[in-house]
Structure formats: structure tokens, C-alpha cells
């Protein structure tokens, strides 16, 4: 079991990078959709507003973007200190 855990630990940085990137892209795309739709982008009956809210909560629920950044930086520093 410990060896399996060590194998999985190698993907922490990549997982943090993927979560951060996906969160940023979702917020950018949904924000652009709202801008493109104008006032209709904010109404609850439309999907753009829901996607924007979901993208904002995703950044918090999956670990805030700042925590993801700190995790990435910490792991990169650790990796390059070894070299």
C-alpha cells in the first residue's frame, strides 16, 4: 500500500495544474458567453448564468485557485531543489 501511495503522490502537481487551468478556462468562457449575450446572459432562465455560477463555485469547491497555485509552486520548488 505505501508504494502505491507514493506512485499516486507523483500526480499532485499535475492534478493541481489541471484543476487551476480548468477553473480559469471555465470562468473565462462562461464570462465571455455572458458578455456576448448582453443582458440576457444574466437571466436565470439562460444557461450562461448557470455555467458562470458553476465555474465560480468550482474554483472554490475543488480547492481555491490560490491554494492550487501554492501547491504548484511548493512542489516545483521542491523538485528543483533536488536538481
Count of residues making up the chain: 83
> Is 79 considered catalytic here?
no
Burial category of 48 from C-beta neighbours within 10 Å (exposed 0-12, middle 13-18, buried 19 and up): buried
Distance CA 66, CA 72 (A): 10
User: 35, 45, 62, 79: which is the annotated catalytic residue?
Assistant: 62
Q: Which residues are catalytic?
A: 62
Amino acid at each position: 500500500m505505501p508504494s502505491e501511495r507514493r506512485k499516486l503522490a507523483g500526480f499532485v502537481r499535475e492534478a493541481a495544474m489541471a484543476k487551476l487551468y480548468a477553473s480559469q478556462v471555465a470562468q473565462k468562457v462562461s464570462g465571455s458567453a455572458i458578455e456576448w449575450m448582453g443582458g440576457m446572459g444574466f437571466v436565470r432562465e439562460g444557461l450562461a448564468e448557470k455555467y458562470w455560477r458553476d465555474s465560480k463555485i468550482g474554483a472554490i469547491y475543488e480547492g481555491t485557485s490560490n491554494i492550487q497555485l501554492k501547491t504548484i509552486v511548493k512542489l516545483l520548488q521542491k523538485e528543483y531543489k533536488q536538481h
